[in-house]
């Protein structure tokens, strides 16, 4: 199976800690024993801090996005370091490069590619590009909810269609560093290419392994 795993910066780098990168690297290696794996890393709080400083300094939104992309790529480099010889040595800067890098048989890790989106969209487009069988979006939230998980009455959904996913995420805000359960662009890509997707809480890296290898998870399954 070809699997794209999107690891949100909120779980990979809530703060910079080499042990945390090490734990995710072990989980990714476990999956890569059985499957072809691509990983997309998010920027997390550190990216938002950088973006905020850039914005205060007068940078426009596209430039703020570029600052964010640089941080996601730094996180990709750290995960590559933790994966050692199992990983392709360089984070690809586009999808074509990523596909080419995978021909080495190594785990490919990349960050952001272009302004106006987040790494959720990168992971979805990559899944489309390499015709992945499964996209796993590992975040700090338990899955897709009917509304903001913090609001009263919001219910977690175990299984939804890509169309429902689009309806839910379309309500979110779009500016550099904005936080939402999923980038609307990612949802649209998942919808148009009918990509089987699991959105789960990946705070414990083992939950990513169990979802992929055992099909067991407590998140939301998006199936056409």
Nearest to 193 by CA among 165, 156, 157: 165
Given the rule CB under 6 A, which of 27-35, 42-50, 93-101, 150-158 is the region that contacts ligand UTP? 42-50
Question: CA gyration radius for the chain?
Answer: 16
Residue placing its CB nearer to ligand UTP in the complex, 118 or 197 = 118
Residue with tokens 């960050």: 111
Report d(CA 66, CA 74) in Å as an integer: 12
Strands of the sheet with 36-41, listed across from one edge: 108-110, 36-41, 2-7, 134-139, 197-201, 220-222, 159-160
Binding ligand UTP by CB under 6 A: which of 27, 31, 65, 109? 65
Nearest to 179 by CA among 154, 202, 156, 149: 149
Residue placing its CB nearer to ligand UTP in the complex, 17 or 224 = 17
- Does 201 interact with ligand UTP (rule: CB under 6 A)? no
- Does 47 interact with ligand UTP (rule: CB under 6 A)? yes
Residue placing its CB nearer to ligand UTP in the complex, 84 or 116 = 116
Residue placing its CB nearer to ligand UTP in the complex, 81 or 93 = 93
Binding residues for ligand UTP (CB under 6 A): 8-10, 42-44, 47, 51, 65, 68-69, 72, 112-119, 122, 139, 176-177, 179
């Amino acid at each position: 199976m070809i699997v794209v795993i999107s690891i949100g910066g909120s779980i990979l780098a809530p703060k910079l800690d080499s042990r945390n990168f090490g734990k995710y690297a072990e989980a990714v290696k476990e999956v890569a024993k059985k499957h072809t794996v691509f990983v997309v890393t998010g920027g997390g709080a550190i990216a938002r801090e950088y973006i905020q400083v850039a914005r205060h300094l007068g940078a426009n939104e596209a430039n703020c996005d570029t600052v964010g992309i640089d941080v996601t790529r730094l996180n990709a480099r750290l995960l590559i370091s933790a994966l050692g010889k199992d990983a392709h040595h360089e984070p690809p800067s586009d999808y074509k490069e990523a596909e080419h890098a995978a021909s080495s048989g190594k785990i490919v890790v990349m960050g952001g590619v272009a302004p106006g989106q987040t790494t959720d969209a990168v992971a979805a487009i990559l899944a489309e590009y390499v015709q992945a069988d499964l996209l796993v979006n590992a975040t700090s939230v338990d899955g897709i909810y009917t509304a903001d998980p913090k609001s009263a009455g919001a219910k977690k959904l175990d299984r939804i269609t890509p169309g429902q996913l689009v309806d839910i995420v379309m309500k979110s805000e779009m500016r550099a560093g904005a936080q939402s359960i999923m980038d609307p662009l990612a949802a649209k890509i998942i919808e148009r290419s009918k990509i089987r997707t699991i959105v789960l809480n990946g705070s414990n890296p083992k939950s990513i392994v169990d979802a992929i290898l055992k099909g067991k998870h407590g998140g939301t399954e998006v199936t056409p």
